């Protein structure tokens, strides 16, 4: 902590105290308000955390104005180009890129944990046949503590590591099973000869009746989506994982809380919404009508996949994934199909439109990830499940960092109370 301070004065100009400023290693400093209440008997008020740093973290850094994203100091552009999802998981969990031996060992451990306890397979059967795969995934991850309670002592480092490995390894299996269950198809066991993303596609699309070979272009596109979604600083679901975990609950319960938060359309549901919107637009000819609707103050319609709360110039993930999206559409010969044609034309029109330029609204990562997942034949209701699968690594890294923080306490926000002032109880006959 440096010597910088923010002084507090009353309206009469009387000094009421001083708040220390804490410097980050990169990016904005923060005002430490922990003693504010002691000094002033007041709380800060910041619903939605627009100006509040909820924790100290050394995992992920975002600069929304410059359009930068780093995992442990490594630019997302370099990771997307040169790394793999599992290497990024190692990086997020351990803080450093692994050497060849460490990476090999990590990949082997994850591969060894891909199967789920057979009793979990039966657990799916308790779900209704037409349940949303996200509902199933949420329930199954929450239930993992009932199956793996040999590793839920959060103060035991070995338990934490085993739980982290189990979660990363089993998420693709749990996700693919949730899809297979809703399709009424047999579950496919993981094939440990395959890479992480390849294995997920195998469990999604293979069935015992015919041989299915995973397209390497599809596997790489899936791996890229996982890398780009692996972590994103203190977003809603990550903050939920931290808050749930701050009470000392087990890792599976904490991650299930994150999945619940991610499920909402304002968070993980956007790429699904992109495809639904494109289906509604239907043809290239209708685009102008929808763009005009998005611009109208009287209409609540928004172009899904455009704009971002933090990135106000460009979303760095969108730049990376845009290129991958175009390459994939070309390699699958899909560019001319009506949905993708409409998407690419919408992208062109919006990028040239004065309203979108002035409002700094650019296609975000979800615009392109939606298109890629659709091109890979992934059903819409699995898009958010895949997001959850990717974000599991970030959630665990953030949860573990929180537990290691010596200053860690249970998360307990305060409030601005605006309800009734104290009043006497009124007997029922007198109300
Ligand atoms: N289409 C049309 N107008 C828009 C859009 C859009 N997609 N997004 C923002 N605007 C306008 C908005 O109407 C407002 O205009 P004005 O100032 O004239 O009233 C202005 O731009 C600022 O909007 P805002 O709602 O104050 O901005 P925000 O930072 O609170 O919202 C957002 C960010 C992502 C919620 C919003 O841009 C949006 O709803 N986008 C569509 C949904 C979407 O694609 N979400 C995925 C985001 S990426 C997910 C991730 O990183 O995990």
Per residue of the chain (431 residues), give pLDDT as tens: 568 999 999 899 999 889 999 999 999 999 999 999 999 899 999 999 999 999 999 999 999 999 999 999 999 999 999 999 999 999 999 999 999 999 999 999 999 999 999 999 999 999 999 999 999 999 999 999 999 988 899 999 999 999 999 999 999 999 999 999 999 999 999 999 999 999 999 999 999 998 899 999 999 999 999 999 999 999 999 999 999 999 999 999 999 999 999 998 888 888 889 999 999 999 999 999 999 999 999 999 999 999 988 888 889 999 999 989 988 888 888 888 888 899 999 999 999 999 999 999 999 999 999 999 999 999 999 999 999 999 999 999 999 999 999 989 999 999 999 999 999 999 999 99
3-state helix, strand, coil in the chain (%, to 5): 55, 5, 40
Backbone angles phi, psi at 48, to 5 degrees: 85, 0
- Dihedral sign of CA atoms 149, 193, 331, 182 in order: negative
CA-CA distance, 280 to 274, in Å (whole number)? 10
Angle at alpha carbon of residue 340, lines to 348 and 270, rounded to 5°:
85
CA-CA distance, 37 to 58, in Å (whole number)? 27
Q: What is the CA radius of gyration of the chain?
A: 24
Q: Residue count of the chain, please give it.
A: 431
Q: Reduce the DSSP state of residue 95 to 3 states and report it.
A: coil
Q: Reduce the DSSP state of residue 149 to 3 states and report it.
A: helix
Helix (H) / strand (E) element for 352: namely: helix 338-352
Q: Which of 231, 315, 353, 366 is catalytic?
A: 366
Q: Is 304 in the pocket of ligand 1 (CB under 6 A)?
A: yes
Residue with the smallest CA separation from ligand 1 atom 4 is: 302
Q: Which of 60, 302, 343, 383 for a ligand 1 pocket mutation test, highest count of atoms within 8 Å of Cβ?
A: 302
CA-CA distance, 145 to 158, in Å (whole number)? 16
Instruction: Please report the pLDDT score of residue 205 as a whole number.
Output: 96
Contact between residue 259 and residue 251 where contact means Cβ atoms under 8 Å apart? no
Rounded to the nearest angstrom, the distance between the alpha carbon of 350 and the centre of ligand 1 is 14
Query: Alpha carbon 184 to chain centroid distance?
Result: 28
Is there a catalytic annotation at residue 308?
yes
**Residue 75 exposed, middle or buried by CB count within 10 Å (0-12, 13-18, 19+):** middle
Contact between residue 229 and residue 385 where contact means Cβ atoms under 8 Å apart? no
Spatial neighbors of 93 by CB under 8 A, at least 6 apart, are 164, 393, 396, 397, 400
Angle at alpha carbon of residue 306, lines to 302 and 311, rounded to 5°:
130
DSSP string, 102-123: HHHHHHHHHHHT-S--HHHHHH
Q: Reduce the DSSP state of residue 177 to 3 states and report it.
A: helix
Which atom of ligand 1 lies closest to the CA of 268?
A: 52
Whether this model's pTM surpasses 0.95: no
Rounded to the nearest angstrom, the distance between the alpha carbon of 387 and the centre of ligand 1 is 20
Residue with the smallest CA separation from ligand 1 atom 38 is: 307
CA distances from 390 to 196, 243, 302, 305, 395 (A): 11, 20, 26, 19, 10
Is there a catalytic annotation at residue 314?
no
- Dihedral sign of CA atoms 281, 283, 289, 291 in order: positive
CA-CA distance, 111 to 7, in Å (whole number)? 55
Instruction: Please report the pLDDT score of residue 332 as a whole number.
Output: 86
Contact between residue 92 and residue 72 where contact means Cβ atoms under 8 Å apart? yes
Q: At what angle do helices 100-112 and 157-183 cross, to 10 degrees?
A: 50
Q: Reduce the DSSP state of residue 8 to 3 states and report it.
A: strand
Q: Is 308 in the pocket of ligand 1 (CB under 6 A)?
A: yes
State the SS3 of 22-56: ECCCCCCCEECCCCHHHHHCCCCCCHHHCCCCCCC
Instruction: Please report the pLDDT score of residue 266 as a whole number.
Output: 81
Instruction: Please report the pLDDT score of residue 67 as a whole number.
Output: 92
Task: Output DSSP code: residue 324.
Answer: H
Q: Is 302 in the pocket of ligand 1 (CB under 6 A)?
A: yes
């Amino acid at each position: 902590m440096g010597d910088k301070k923010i002084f507090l004065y009353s309206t009469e100009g009387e000094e009421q105290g001083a708040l220390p400023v804490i410097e980050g290693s990169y990016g904005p400093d923060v005002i430490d308000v922990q003693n504010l209440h002691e000094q002033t008997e007041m709380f800060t008020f910041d619903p939605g955390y627009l100006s509040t740093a909820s924790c100290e973290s050394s995992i992920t850094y975002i600069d929304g104005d410059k359009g930068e994203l780093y995992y442990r100091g490594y630019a997302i552009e370099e990771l997307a180009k040169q790394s793999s999802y599992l290497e990024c998981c190692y990086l997020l969990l351990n803080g450093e890129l692994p050497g060849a031996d460490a990476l090999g060992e990590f990949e082997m451990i994850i591969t060894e944990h891909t199967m789920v306890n057979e009793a979990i397979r039966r657990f799916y059967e308790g779900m209704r046949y037409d349940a949303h795969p996200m509902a199933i995934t949420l329930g199954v991850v929450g239930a993992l503590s009932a199956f793996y309670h040999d590793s839920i002592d959060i103060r035991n480092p070995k338990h934490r590591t085993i739980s982290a490995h189990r979660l990363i390894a089993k998420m693709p299996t749990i996700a693919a099973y949730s899809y297979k269950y809703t399709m009424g198809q047999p579950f496919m066991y993981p094939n440990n000869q395959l890479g992480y993303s390849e294995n997920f596609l195998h469990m999604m699309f293979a069935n015992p009746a015919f041989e299915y070979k995973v397209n390497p272009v599809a596997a790489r596109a899936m791996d890229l989506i996982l890398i780009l979604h692996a972590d994103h600083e203190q977003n809603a679901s990550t903050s939920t994982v931290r808050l749930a975990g701050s009470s000392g609950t087990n890792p599976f319960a904490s991650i299930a809380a994150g999945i619940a938060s991610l499920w909402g359309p304002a968070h993980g549901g956007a790429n699904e919404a992109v495809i639904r919107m494109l289906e509604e637009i239907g043809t290239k000819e209708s685009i102008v009508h929808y763009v005009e609707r998005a611009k109208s103050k009287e209409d609540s319609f928004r172009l899904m996949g455009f704009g971002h709360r933090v990135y106000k110039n460009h979303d760095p993930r969108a730049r990376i994934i845009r290129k991958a999206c175009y390459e994939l559409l070309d390699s699958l010969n899909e560019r001319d199909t009506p949905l993708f044609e409409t998407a690419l034309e919408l992208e062109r029109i919006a990028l040239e439109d004065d309203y979108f330029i002035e409002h700094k609204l650019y296609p975000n990562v979800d615009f392109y990830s939606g298109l890629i997942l659709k091109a890979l034949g992934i059903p819409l209701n699995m898009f958010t499940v895949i997001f959850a699968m990717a974000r599991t690594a970030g959630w665990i890294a953030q949860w573990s960092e929180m537990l290691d923080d010596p200053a860690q306490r249970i998360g307990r926000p305060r409030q601005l109370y605006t309800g009734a002032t104290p009043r006497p109880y009124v007997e029922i006959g007198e109300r």
